[in-house]
Amino acid sequence: MPTVRIILVAALGASLFTADGGSIRLQPDPVERGTLRLHYVQKPIGYEKYEIVRDGDVLTLTSDFDFTDRGGRVQLAATLRTKADYTPLSFKATGKSYRFVNVDSDVRIDGSDAIVKADGTESRVPLSAPFYTVDGYAPFAAQMLLLRYWKQHGQPHLIRTVPGLPVNDVIVEPRGREAIKIGSTVVRLERYAIDGVVWGREAVWLDEHGALAAAITRAGGLSFEAVREDLEPALVGFVQRATLDRLADLEGITRRTRLLKSGTYAMTGATIVDGTGRPAMPDGVVIVRDGRIAEVGPRASVTIPADVPQVAVDGKTIIPGLWDMHTHVTQVEWAPVYLAAGVTTVRDMGNEFEFITALRDAIASKKALGPRIVAAGLIDGGGPNAFGVYYAATVDEAKAAVAKYHDAGFQQIKIYSLVTPPIVEAICAEAHRLGMTVTGHIPAGMTIEQAAAAGMDHIAHLGIRGEAGSDEVNKTIAFLKDHKTVIDPTQSWNELLGHAVGTPVAAFQPGILKVPAPLTRVFSNAGAAGIDAATARTRLERGLRIVKALHDAGVPIVAGTDEGVPGHSVHREIELYVEAGLTPMEALQAATIVSARAMKMDGELGTIERGKRADLVVLNANPLDKISNIRSVRWTISDGRVYDAKTLWQSVRFQP
Ligand SMILES: [Zn+2]
């Protein structure tokens, strides 16, 4: 309609005119525009606005991606040029896609090569079709064109993408059609899973015109949702639909993963580090019967019944299953990763409610493999800078939020930064009345002592200022000891984000060399700018000295990662406790029995003792000899079922 065009041109003004070979010509009108509402853990936080113009055979997508998360602004500007059939010609993205994820990508297709400038280096990458240019989940409009490319090119199984060290394989799977009703309007949608743009699968919906309707992905380790403005009322429906798909994916992985053993069997000949603090037991035997430890002891004193199959594990070391006490399991791919790393229980510290309850239940019912999930439900204080969508600003809201989590089987509440002091007390009182415990950040305006005094049983992260050994810190530690406060100091997370940019992550975290390309890209840019390695180390060591002082005073330290490098960060957290001065046994206990005790589950878990759940790890080497041997996981036993670590890593595109 010509009238509309005229209005558009007038509205956009002179910037539409450019000099071209001496003559002024009008740039093409946008052929398509869209606005997506962005959400972090379902909270609306910003927008992506995109526009596509056509000039002859060339399409140019420009996107402005912009959100504010807990007061921090994140912006990304991207331009993607393609042929009419969506074959990329060039891609440029600069800014951030998440608080700590810097993006600086510039890709130009040159014949059958891509010239890739990313993170300060330039390389020529040979490419063969099908290929695409995409760098992480943002902008979503680029993923929309990726899907159109996939459709136009015969729906290939695999698309090579750059930048991606040097290429990254993306897999598109159609997952069905559906119609949603918004008011009286019915919108027909096609649903896809995209694997490999980020680590793990995203859910993406296109409408009948191929325009992006919604996408559910993961940013900074938490769920990130984009929904077209007019479809906003369907947000939770999209989350629920994606959850069903992802659980089906995990059930698929579970079916394809062969159990090495289950039921009743005896493992013989290993060194057993039972986690009680007793010295290692050489040539030991563990008998597992229907998910529980039926017997454990030196071979000389254990009688193995004749009908019990024996598995010789001479030369190996068996330890209790590990715990990660600070995670956000926002993707099903975490489940095999955790088991592969020897982690059999995790405490989830904030997630999409619909997703975490469904995943927890699928694992508990054994439909899906994975660590047992103990869930802490997140409550923040509300307002524009709040986190998540569960808030409490009044005592009644506090009671209602605690009740919602309690009724859904959460064992704990996680208080977030903006809860006010009287509401912290109200949440703790209500949680304790219902038999729950409370963890969380130290709320803004409170000290760690005030948070503990208000009833918080645990504190997430190491919120103690000052130097270990100072009067002030000694006083704080004595106070926490008196209040039986549990600390998860997340030192591996501090190290991952706080290392000097010039220090490669692999220097302290060899696990980074085994992760899928999208994770490598995320973490290759993490780190603190403007400090040298010595300064970074000094900061880390200050924290480690406090960890040691807390431990020496008898304050329980539990191993938590806040995710980090999936699976591998649990090992790093344990290594750092040894660097802090804990013995390897004490460090191991922080990730086993001390964690189990903190969650009041030590009657069932945390050590290798008769009657407890058979959650065990078979290591190739003994971590008491050298703590980094904790990385040598051969098999993980989850509720008596024996998994091969290598198979689990590979099931989600990690190298073993
Ligand atoms: Zn966290």
CA of 301 to the centre of ligand 1 (A): 45
Residue 311: pLDDT over 70: yes
The pair phi, psi for residue 595, each rounded to 5°, is -65, -45
- CB-based contact 135:103 (threshold 8 Å): yes
Rounded distance from Cα 186 to ligand 1 centre (Å)? 38
Confidence at residue 17, expressed as pLDDT on a 0 to 100 scale: 36
pTM of the model: 0.93
Find the 405 Cα to ligand 1 centroid distance in Å.
Answer: 18
The least confident of 275-284, 416-425, 524-533, 566-575 is 524-533
Task: Give the dihedral sign, CA 329/331/335/340.
Answer: negative
Q: Which tokens go with 451?
A: 């948070």
pLDDT value of residue 102 = 84
**How close is the Cα of 526 to the center of ligand 1, in Å?**
17
pLDDT at 146: 98
Ligand 1: centre distance to CA 256 (Å) = 31
End-to-end CA distance of the chain: 58
- Identify how many contiguous H helices and E strands the chain contains and give both numbers: 16, 32
Cα-to-centroid distance, 373 and ligand 1 (Å):
15
Residue whose token pair is 């429906």:
237
Distance (Å) from CA 350 to ligand 1 centroid: 7
Give the start-end residues of each E strand in 183-316. Answer: 185-195, 201-207, 212-219, 222-228, 264-272, 281-289, 292-298, 310-312
The three-state secondary structure class of 184 is coil
Cα(326) to ligand 1 centroid in Å equals 6
CA 224 to ligand 1 center in whole angstroms: 15
Q: Residue 93: beta bridge partners?
A: 78, 105
Ligand 1 geometric centre to CA of 564 (Å): 10
String of DSSP letters for 123-175: EEEE--SSEEE--SS--HHHHHHHHHHHHHTT--SEEEEESSSS-EEEEEEEE
Distance between Cα 388 and ligand 1 center (Å): 12
Q: Is 385 left (phi over 0), alpha (psi -120 to 50) or beta?
A: alpha
Q: Is residue 95's pLDDT more than 90?
A: yes
Residues, the chain:
656
Give the whole-number percent of the chain exceeding pLDDT 90. Answer: 89
DSSP 266: E
pLDDT digits (tens, 9 = 90+) for 426-479: 999 999 999 999 999 999 999 999 999 999 999 999 999 999 999 999 999 999
- d(CA 351, ligand 1 centre) in Å: 9
The pLDDT-based confidence of 387 (bands split at 50, 70, 90) is very high
Start-end of H helices in 257-344? 334-340
Distance 273 CA to ligand 1 centre (A): 30
pLDDT, tens only, 317-360: 999 999 999 999 999 999 999 999 999 999 999 999 999 999 99
CA 443 to ligand 1 center in whole angstroms: 14
436 secondary structure, DSSP code: -
pLDDT score recorded for residue 36: 98
Tokens of 89: 């010609």
pLDDT score of 13 = 32
Quick one: average pLDDT of 562-586?
A: 98
Distance 74 CA to ligand 1 centre (A): 19
Residue 522 is predicted with a pLDDT of 83
For CA atoms 200, 571, 367, 348, the dihedral sign is negative
State both tokens at 604.
């069932």
What pLDDT is recorded for position 14?
A: 32
Q: What is the pLDDT of residues 116-153, one digit of tens each?
A: 997 678 999 999 899 999 999 999 999 999 999 999 99
Ligand 1 centroid to Cα of residue 328, in Å, is: 6
pLDDT value of residue 5: 35
Q: What is the mean pLDDT of the chain?
A: 94
Q: Is the pLDDT of residue 8 over 60?
A: no
Query: Ligand 1 centroid to 136 CA: how many Å?
Result: 21
pLDDT at 493: 96
Q: How confident is residue 100, by pLDDT bands cut at 50, 70 and 90?
A: confident
Cα 562 to middle of ligand 1, angstroms: 5
Per residue in 9-33, pLDDT tens? 333 333 333 334 444 555 677 899 9
Secondary structure of 511-569 in the HEC alphabet? HHHHCCHHHHHHHHCCCECCCCHHHHHHHHHHHHHHHHHHHHHCCCECCCCCCCCCCHH
Distance 130 CA to ligand 1 centre (A): 38
Q: How far is the CA of 456 from the centre of ligand 1 (A)?
A: 16
How far apart are the CA of 65 and the centre of ligand 1, in A?
24
User: How far away, in angstroms, is 107 Cα from ligand 1 center?
Assistant: 34
Q: How far is the CA of 34 from the centre of ligand 1 (A)?
A: 33
Ramachandran sector of residue 564 (left: φ over 0; alpha: ψ -120 to 50; beta: rest): left
